[in-house]
Amino acid sequence: MAGWNQGAALPLVLMVLLDLQRVAGRSPHETQKNITLAVILPQNNTNYPWAWPRVGPALERAVRTVNADASLLPDHVLIYRFNSSEDKGGVCSESLAALMAVDLKLTYDPWAFIGPGCSYTSSPVGLFTTHWDVPMVTAGASAVAFDGGVYPSITNTGPTHKKLGKFALRICEHFGWREHVMLIFSDKKEDDRPCYFAVEGLHAELESINITLEERVFAENKPVNYSQIILDIQNDGRGGSPWKFCEKSLAAAAAETPTCRECRTKGLNTESI
């Protein structure tokens, strides 16, 4: 009986040895499990601050650094899979970003999402990641709406407009501006509307302490009467504080108004006009 047991065990031992040889012949990564990051960003359009040409090199370096230190993720290797959120026109598309998120989830089952890098695309993807209980790390969810508790999966790594509003509120408190604020900004009502969402942060915070707000909205991609905007600041902004969100063209127009020219000849500061 003992001889039979030894004979039966011999094939099992040989099978184990052969299996160990196969394992020993593999590369280190073949025996490790993948930790996949799903990346959704604008692929080419660098008008977006968080586009892939800007973010990609940092992400690739981070992946290399993590994988070079075996103590950080023992028995695992960090990889990423990228999909673009741009449509054919190079614009961040909320519908396309949502489709890319579903595709990445079903194909790779990622541990986390990086991006999207735009406000409108972050919204649907943030709802999906909340439903999937998967973390989403982005600097593109800066709008006030992302602070409402609807997107618990999002970790925002960039500055938010709510923080901008708190900063403006602190300035108003410091100088005693408690009654009237004029908000002036450009809004094309298309794409990611960065000025609109930035002003929204100020609007929400200043309104919370009952400061009266006046708004002047213009579109810089169309002919603009900057002189009229300056007059609005002079007439409706007096006794309050004008917050300007615009390009250099408005500042240049302000410098040529009669009031500003008069101030310059007298050596006065025109910034408060």
pLDDT attached to residue 58:
94
Overall average pLDDT of the 249-263 stretch? 42
The Cβ-side half-sphere exposure at 232, using a 13 Å CA radius, reads 20
**pLDDT value at 198 more than 50:** yes
Overall average pLDDT of the 244-251 stretch? 45
What is the rounded CA–CA span in Å between residue 244 and residue 11? 82
Q: What is the band of 212 on the pLDDT scale with cuts at 50, 70, 90?
A: confident
All structural domains of the chain, each given as residue ranges with its CATH number in brackets, are 27-158 (3.40.50.2300), 162-265 (3.40.50.2300)
**Most confident of the following: 118-132, 220-234, 249-263:** 118-132
What is the rounded CA–CA span in Å between residue 230 and residue 212? 19
**pLDDT value at 4 more than 60:** no
Look at the pTM and tell me if it is higher than 0.95.
no
**pLDDT > 70 fraction of the chain, expressed in percent and rounded:** 70
Overall average pLDDT of the 23-46 stretch? 78
- Helix axis angle, 258-265 relative to 248-255, nearest 10°? 70
Query: Comparing 38 with 14, which gets the higher pLDDT?
Result: 38
**pLDDT value at 12 more than 50:** no
**pLDDT value at 2 more than 60:** no
**Digit-coded pLDDT (tens) for 131-177:** 999 999 998 888 877 887 889 999 988 788 888 888 888 888 888 87
pLDDT attached to residue 84:
95
pLDDT attached to residue 191:
65
Residue 1 CB-density burial (10 A; 0-12 exposed, 13-18 middle, 19+ buried): exposed
